[in-house]
Amino acid sequence: MTFSTARLTTAMAALRHFDGADVDALGEREFALFQECVASVYRHAGVVAADAAAAVQRRSARERGANGWARRHGHAHARRKVAEDLGIGEGEAQKLIDAGDAAKKERYPLIAAAHAEGRIGAGAVAVLTETLDALVDVAALPEGLEARLVVKAERLSLRELRRACEQLRARLDREALAAKERRHRQQRSLVVSRDGDGMTRLSARLDAASAAPIVAWLDAQVKDGFQRRNDDPALAKADRRSAPQMRVDALVTLAQHGLGCDAPGTGVRTEVIIRIDKTDLEDDLALGSCDSLPGPITVGTMRLMAVDARILPVVMGGDSVPLDWGRARRLYTADQRKALIERDGGCAWCLAPPTWCIVHHSRYWRDGGRTDLEDGVPLCTGCHVRLHTTDWELEMRDGRPWFIPPASIDPTRTPIQGGTARLHIDTDDEPHHDEPDAA
């Protein structure tokens, strides 16, 4: 296998321009260029590391026995040797080995080319190859899917890419998703133990039907706790709990109520919202979503969840309710919020869960904004503050939000699609255009 440092050398040459510079004294434009050069060096160094890691794997092949490279250096596996050499975890070492593997490069040449050119990292390579490997037995796999996956990998963060590929796998292999849900249901568990200091430890693994009401309820208690502190300065000084501590206190309150507490409630009430197309109600393998969970779920699992009266099904295509209020009221109603969450899936910017979000007027209320769906954008608190305090801009196009970075971050100011729509990986014959005309 031919080894080359040509691209890394070119990237290093660009970075050398900053030798001796005080990076804290750089202007915005210069610092942006500096960061771009550093990122390029990091990506291309990752390509070199992947090729080297794959070479360690080949020299440590099982047939070499005790003479294998890793064993001669005191390691049972190549990934342990790579992890030791690079000072990384074994999981990251395995990703490098897989990214440099010649057989996988041959099987997925477009992914290999994107990695070799520094357009995607080893983590993205792992997500894409795992996705395609899992779909290998799916009949009528869409033509050109590898190329479309590479395009998505170049645009999305690794976290968003994992979520996009999870949704893709669910759409293309619904039986596999249903089988996974059944397996998760059988494997659900809650273990109670004590650590060395005497604290009780709860360790749970939950299936979707079990997790949804718990996550929704805990999120509601944490959101309410922070909101109360924001509204009451005196409470903010007295209540210093972190979100994890709030969750513990909420669970204790729930347990006390279950043990016979006379109080009428156990904290802030909330709903678990599940969504499904009306035409899919009779199909157990049809896909839907739950506001409290990031991935798709089947209708079969939704039915299991719906035995609880606090589960609120939203059937798209049913009777509508008045959703636009114009200037008649400033705050969005619960029905409007549900409609906006249906459109964007959560925070339209960072994709945080719906329970973390408030609704922002795309045109500020003080500037004549209207409390209508076409002007509403769900944002988590962090993204809401960022939008108000930075030079990022929000623009609605065809009823959907797009975020426009300032020139100091992206000189071309290329819009970024908001909401879960940007996770969509097209599987039709025609390409999916998820970029608008330039701003």
Q: How many CA atoms, within 13 angstroms, populate the side-chain half-sphere of residue 358?
A: 13
Output the pLDDT for position 126: 94
Is the pLDDT higher at 160 or at 280? 160
* Section 235-256 average pLDDT: 87
Amino acid letter, residue 336 = Q
Q: What is the pLDDT of residues 75-113, one digit of tens each?
A: 989 999 999 999 999 999 999 999 999 998 999 999 999
> Is residue 250 in some structural domain?
no
Output the pLDDT for position 266: 56
From residue 429, give the alpha-carbon distance in Å to each of 142, 143, 229. 8, 7, 52
DSSP conformation letters of 50-94: HHHHHHHHHHT-GGGGGGSHHHHTT-SSHHHHHHHHHT--HHHHH
- Mean pLDDT lowest for which of 3-7, 172-176, 297-301, 303-307? 303-307
Q: What's 378's domain CATH number?
A: 1.10.30
From residue 387, give the alpha-carbon distance in Å to each of 330, 338, 344, 356, 391. 19, 22, 17, 16, 7
Q: Environment class of residue 101 by beta-carbon count within 10 Å: exposed (0-12), middle (13-18) or buried (19+)? A: buried
Output the pLDDT for position 411: 85
Q: Tell me the C-alpha distance between 100 and 215, whole Å.
A: 39
Cα R_g (the chain), whole angstroms: 25
What is the share, in percent, of the chain residues with pLDDT greater than 90?
44
From residue 258, give the alpha-carbon distance in Å to each of 242, 252, 265, 411. 25, 10, 10, 57
Q: Which two tokens stand for residue 272?
A: 């678990």
Is the pLDDT higher at 9 or at 310? 9
Answer whether residue 206 shows pLDDT above 60: yes
Domain boundary (173, 192, 221) is at 173
Output the pLDDT for position 429: 47
Q: What is the pLDDT of residues 109-131, one digit of tens each?
A: 999 999 999 999 999 999 999 99
Answer whether residue 402 shows pLDDT above 50: yes
Q: Which two tokens stand for residue 25?
A: 């004294």
Q: What is the pLDDT of residues 351-400, one digit of tens each?
A: 988 878 888 888 776 666 677 778 889 998 788 888 888 889 999 888 89
Is the pLDDT higher at 7 or at 353? 7
> Is residue 246 in some structural domain?
no
- Give the pLDDT band of residue 436 (cuts 50, 70, 90): very low
- Give the pLDDT band of residue 313 (cuts 50, 70, 90): low
Output the pLDDT for position 431: 41
> Is residue 255 in some structural domain?
no
Give 383's contacts (C-beta < 8 A, 6+ positions apart).
Answer: 347, 348, 349, 350, 352
> Is residue 311 in some structural domain?
no
Output the pLDDT for position 3: 85
> Is residue 35 in some structural domain?
yes
Answer whether residue 264 shows pLDDT above 60: no
Domain boundary (133, 153, 173) is at 173
Element (H, E) at 246: helix 243-258
* Section 395-411 average pLDDT: 89
Domain boundary (173, 197, 229) is at 173
Answer whether residue 424 shows pLDDT above 60: yes
> Is residue 303 in some structural domain?
no
Amino acid letter, residue 267 = G
Output the pLDDT for position 186: 94
> Is residue 195 in some structural domain?
no
> Is residue 55 in some structural domain?
yes
Answer whether residue 307 shows pLDDT above 60: no
- Mean pLDDT lowest for which of 88-92, 143-147, 200-204, 429-433? 429-433
Q: Rounded to the nearest 10 degrees, how much is the dihedral formed by the CA atoms of 64, 65, 68, 71?
A: 170
Q: What is the pLDDT of residues 369-380, one digit of tens each?
A: 677 778 889 998
Output the pLDDT for position 438: 40
Q: Which two tokens stand for residue 251?
A: 């669970």
Output the pLDDT for position 268: 65
- Give the pLDDT band of residue 293 (cuts 50, 70, 90): confident
Answer whether residue 269 shows pLDDT above 70: no
What's the domain range around 47?
6-173
**What's the whole-model pTM score?**
0.73
* Section 36-62 average pLDDT: 94
Q: Structural domain tally of the chain?
A: 2
